[in-house]
Structures are given as structure tokens and as C-alpha cells.
Amino acid sequence: MSSPEPGPAPRRWRQGGPTLRLGFALASCLALTACFRPLYGPTASGVTVQDSLGAVQVETAVSPPGQERIAHYVRSELIYGLDGSGTPRPKSYTLSLDTAETIQPVSVDTTSGRADAAALNGTVKFVLKGPNGKALFSGTARANATYQRDQQRFASVRAARDADIRVAQLIAEDIKQRIAAYFASAPAP
């Protein structure tokens, strides 16, 4: 006596079918929507993130001698990025900055022994303080940029300055986004 061999399963169950797969994808998307919150949406404290960012006073950055240029650029970018409205607002937070930069040669011309290209590495340690002077949030932001060194002095100076500006913009944007994320997730007072 022989038993019949089972045949293949219907296609819709074997491969899931397009309707079943679409339904599963929609169900998983709906389940995950509660996990995400927009950065600039309403906060637990009731104050919008934009208003909190506008209430940050950026102090003059501390930097080693000869490295004041990148400190100036980072501070200027942060002032504009945090409150670029042009309207004076009351400041209830302070942001202190401690900057440093290093320059490393990337390639060297073998005939002259001079560096053809250099990498500028910028580091900024920052501390956000509340109205009472207590540190609320701190961190370190880093960025780097390469630039070409030329035999013409003005071209090399301008390329180095452009690298300073690029590094400052990257660092300022990183700090701004971190502070915005802090304000968005900070508990109500």
C-alpha cells in the first residue's frame, strides 16, 4: 500500500504573496511610528526647540595662542546657527567652548621636501550650562579638512583659511544638532 505524496503548498502561502508581504510591511511601519519623534517637534517642557536654541548665549571660545582663528569661526557659526533670527532674545543658557587644532602634512614633495597637502584637525569641547550655572550637557566635537599647499604664499594662506572655515562649519553644525537633541529629550522642569 502506498500513500499519496503531498503536493506543493499553494503559492500564496509558500512565498507569502504580494498582499501578505504588503500587509506585513504596513503593520511593521505602523508599529514603529511611535518610536520616532521629530527633532523640532513639541517637547516635554512645552518650550519649542527653536526657542531653547535661541536662548543660548555663546561665550568667547578659549584657544591656544595662534589658534584663535578657528575659535572665532566656530563661535560665529554657532551664534548664527543657534539664533540666526536677528531679533534679540533673553538668554538663559550659556555655552562655553574650548578649541584646539592640529595640522598634519599629508604628502611631501620629494624634490623640495615641502608638504604639498595638509590635514587640519579641529576639536572643540563644549559645555552647556543652565540658568543656575550648572552644567547640563557637555561633549566633544571633531572635524577635519584637507587643503593643498602651494609655493605661492597667498594661495597657501587662503587654502588654510578655507579649511578653517569648513572645519568650523562642520563642528558648529554638530554641536547645534547635539544641543537640539538634548533640548528635544530634556524632561520638563
H-only helix segments in the chain: 11-14, 17-32, 49-54, 68-82, 153-185
Does residue 85 or residue 181 have the better pLDDT? Answer: 181
Q: What pLDDT, on a 0 to 100 scale, did the predictor assign at position 84?
A: 79
Q: Mean pLDDT in the chain?
A: 83
CA distances from 96 to 89, 130, 161, 178, 184 (A): 19, 11, 23, 14, 20
Give residue 104's Cα distance to chain centre: 23
pLDDT band at 141 (very low <50, low <70, confident <90, very high): very high
Phi, psi of 156 (to 5 degrees): -70, -40
State how far the Cα of 58 lies from the Cα of 79, in Å rounded to an integer: 6
Q: What is the pLDDT averaged over residues 32-43?
A: 63
Q: Helix, strand or coil for residue 105?
A: strand
Does residue 92 or residue 27 have the better pLDDT? Answer: 92
Task: Count CA atoms closer than 13 A to 14's CA, side-chain side.
Answer: 5
List, in order, residues 6 or more apart from 161 with CB less than 8 Å away: 69
H-only helix segments in 15-152: 17-32, 49-54, 68-82
Q: What pLDDT, on a 0 to 100 scale, did the predictor assign at position 4?
A: 59
Domains and CATH numbers, the chain: 47-185 (3.30.160.150)
pTM of this prediction exceeds 0.85: no
Does residue 171 or residue 109 have the better pLDDT? Answer: 171
State how far the Cα of 115 lies from the Cα of 24, in Å rounded to an integer: 58
Longest dimension (CA), the chain: 97
Q: What pLDDT, on a 0 to 100 scale, did the predictor assign at position 52?
A: 85
Tell me the angle at which helices 68-82 and 153-185 cross, rounded to the nearest 10 degrees: 40
> What is the identity of the amino acid at 98?
D
